[in-house]
Amino acid sequence: MQVSLGIILGAVGLIAVYFWSLYNSLVRESTQIDEAWGQIDVQLKRRADLIPNLVESVKGYAKHEKSVFTEVTHARTALMKAGTPATSAQANDMLTGALKSLFAVAEAYPQLKANENFVHLQKELSDTEDKVAYARQYYNTQLMEYNVKVKTFPNTLFVRSFGFAEKEFFKTDATDRKSVKVDLH
Amino acid sequence: MAVFVVVVVLAAYVFGQSLGYGNSWMWMAVLFSVVSSFAGYWWGDKVVLAMSGARPADRKRDFDFFTVAENMAIAAGLPKPKLFVIEDTAMNAFATGRDPAHAVVCATTGILTRLERRELEGVIAHELSHVKNFDTRLMAIVAVLVGSIAYLADLFMRSLWWGGGRKRSDNDRSNLGGILMIVGIVLAIVTPILATLIQLAISRRREYLADASSANLTRYPEGLARALAKISEDREVLEAATNATAHLYIANPFKGKQFHAWFSSLFDTHPPVAERIRLLRVM
C-alpha cells in the first residue's frame, strides 16, 4: 500500500515538474523573442530615419530622377506602417529594392559619390542593413526553438491552455525575392 | 569538471590524513585559491586592460571594429561589450569579463588594419562566443582547482621537510600511515602537473567551441578560417602579452618562441591553427 502510494506521488510530482518547467521556459523564451523583435524594430526605425537625409542629399545632385525618390519614400512609409513581423519583412525588402535603384542612380553622379555627407549616410545605411540582418537572424533562431517547443508532442496538448501560440517568422516568400528591376532613364 | 573536483578533494584528503592534520588544510588551501581566483575573475578585465595599455575604441576612428562588434552582439543576443584598442602592429584580439553584462573586447590596430570586414566579423564573433559561453568564469573555476592542488602539494612537501606535526595516536602505528605517506608524495609530484595539463586541455576545447559558436553567429566560417590563416602567417610577437594573459588571445601570442618537443603540444593554451582552419572549412 505504501509503495503504490509512493509511486503515485512520485508520478504526480514528475508531472508537476514537467508543467512547471514547460510553462516557465515558454514564458522565458516568449519574452526573449519579444525583446528580439523590439531590437529588429529599433534597427528598422533607424533605417527609416536615415532615408530622408539620404534622399535630400541625392536630390541636391539629381533632382529630375523623380520616380526613384517616390519609390523610396513609398517604401519607407510602408515600412513605418508595418506592424507584424511578416509585413515588416516584406516592407523591409521592398525598401532594400528601392534603395538599390537609388544607389544605382547615384553611380552616374561622381560629385555626389564624392560628397562626404552622402558617403557617410551610405556607410550608416549599409551598417543598419547589416544590423537588421543580424537582429533578424537572432530573432528567427530564438523563434525556431520556441515554435518547435510549442508544436512538439506532448507540449502541444497544453500550450494553448497556458496562453501560448506559435509566432511569426521574420521572412518573406520566395516569390517576393525576384531580382529588382532597376529603372534608369 | 566534476572529475577534476573529485581529484582535488581526494588529493587534499590524502595529504591531510597522512600528515595527521585532518581536513583543515584542505579547506585552507581551497579558500586561498578561491580568494585569489575570485579577485582575478571579478577585476580581471581591468587588470588585463591596464597591463596591455589599451585605449577605448572610438566610433569614428574604429568604425569597422565598432560596428562589427555591435552587429555580432546583436546576432548573439548579448548587450554590446566595451571595446578597446591596443596600438600594436601584431595581429591579435581578446575578450574578457565575468559575464556578458560586463564584457570587454579588445583588438590590436594590427588586426584591425589587416583583416577584411568579414574576417574581422569571424574574429569578433569568436571572442564574443567566449563571453557568451562563460569561458572566463569556467577558466577561473579551473584556476581555483589547479591552484588548490598546487598549494596542497606544496604544503604537503613543506610539512614533510620540516618534520610536520605528529598528532597521530598510538594506535595508528600500522602500515597504513606509511602507505598513505608514499601515495601522498607521489600525488604531490604528479597532481600539479596533471592539473595543469587538464587546465590546458580544457582551454583548448573551449577554443574549438568558440570557433564553432563563431561560425554559428556569422553563418560564414570561411571568414574566421581566413583570418586565422592571416594571423598565423604574421611572425610578429605581441609585446603586451604575458604568460598570465596568453590564453585569452585568439592566437598564441608567443608563436615562434616555442620549445618544441613531442609532448609540448600538451602545454599549448590554443589548439594548432591548421587544425582549427581545417575544422572551420568542413563546417
The 8-class DSSP code of residue B260 comes to P
Q: Is the peptide bond before A154 cis (omega within 30 degrees of 0)?
A: yes
Mind telling me how many Å the CA of A112 is from chain B's nearest CA? 22
More confident residue, B41 or A89: A89
Length of chain A equals: 185
pLDDT surpasses 60 at B23 = no
pLDDT on residue A177: 45
The 8-class DSSP code of residue B171 comes to G
Q: Cβ contact (<8 Å) for A134 and B75? A: yes
Nearest CA in chain B to A140: B75
- pLDDT tens-digit series, residues A62-93: 777 788 888 888 888 888 888 788 888 888 88
Q: How far apart are CA B203 and CA B201, in angstroms?
A: 5
Q: How far apart are CA B203 and CA A36, in angstroms?
A: 32
Count chain A–chain B contacts defined by CB atoms under 8 A.
25
Own/partner contacts of A61-68, CB < 8 Å, gap of 24 or more, are A61/A106, A61/A109, A61/A111, A61/A112, A61/A115, A62/A105, A62/A106, A62/A108, A62/A109, A62/A112, A65/A105, A67/A183, A68/A98, A68/A101, A68/A102, A68/A105, A68/A183
- pLDDT tens-digit series, residues B45-70: 677 677 777 888 888 888 889 999 99
Percent of chain B whose predicted confidence (pLDDT) is above 70? 66
- For Cα atoms B231, B232, B236, give the angle at the middle one, nearest 5 degrees: 75
**Is residue B70 annotated as a catalytic residue, yes or no?**
no
On the 0-12 / 13-18 / 19+ scale of CB atoms within 10 A, B232 is middle
Asked which of B38-42, B79-83, B249-253 is least confident by mean pLDDT, the reply is B249-253
pLDDT on residue A172: 66
Query: For residue B154, what are the contacts with CB-CB under 8 A and spacing of at least 6?
Result: none
What total number of domains does chain B contain? 1
Within 8 A of B75 by CB-CB distance, chain A residues are 134-135, 137-138
Q: Give contacts of A 10-49 with B, CB under 8 A.
A: 32, 36, 39, 43
Domains of chain A with CATH codes: 2-177 (1.20.1440.20)
pLDDT on residue B58: 87
On the 0-12 / 13-18 / 19+ scale of CB atoms within 10 A, A92 is buried
Q: B8 and B149 in contact (C-beta within 8 Å)?
A: yes
On whether any CB of chain A is under 8 Å from the CB of B256, the answer is no
Q: How far apart are CA A150 and CA A152, in angstroms?
A: 6
Nearest CA in chain B to A40: B74
pLDDT surpasses 80 at B1 = no
Q: What is the mean pLDDT of residues B159-186?
A: 62
Q: How far apart are CA A84 and CA A37, in angstroms?
A: 10
Question: Residue B169: which pLDDT band, with cuts at 50, 70 and 90?
Answer: very low
Q: Cβ contact (<8 Å) for B71 and A134? A: yes
Q: Cβ contact (<8 Å) for B75 and A137? A: yes
Within 8 A of A138 by CB-CB distance, chain B residues are 74-77
- Element containing residue B96 per DSSP (H, E): strand B93-96
List the domain range (segments joined by +) for residue B276. Answer: 2-281
pLDDT surpasses 80 at B180 = no
- pLDDT tens-digit series, residues B244-272: 455 556 665 555 444 445 555 566 677 88
On whether any CB of chain A is under 8 Å from the CB of B59, the answer is no
Q: Of B119, B121, B127, B207, which residue is the catalytic one? A: B127
Predicted structure pTM score: 0.75
On whether any CB of chain A is under 8 Å from the CB of B77, the answer is yes
pLDDT averaged over chain B?
76
Question: Residue A17: which pLDDT band, with cuts at 50, 70 and 90?
Answer: very high
Within 8 A of A145 by CB-CB distance, chain B residues are none
Say what the ipTM of the complex is: 0.73
The 8-class DSSP code of residue B230 comes to H
pLDDT surpasses 80 at B279 = yes
- Element containing residue B84 per DSSP (H, E): strand B82-86
The 8-class DSSP code of residue B94 comes to E
pLDDT surpasses 70 at A48 = yes
pLDDT averaged over chain A?
83
**Which residue, A56, A40, A166, is CA-closest to A92?**
A40
- pLDDT tens-digit series, residues B99-145: 888 888 888 888 888 899 899 999 999 988 988 888 877 887 787 77
pLDDT surpasses 60 at B237 = no
The 8-class DSSP code of residue B279 comes to H
Mind telling me how many Å the CA of A170 is from chain B's nearest CA? 14
pLDDT on residue A14: 92
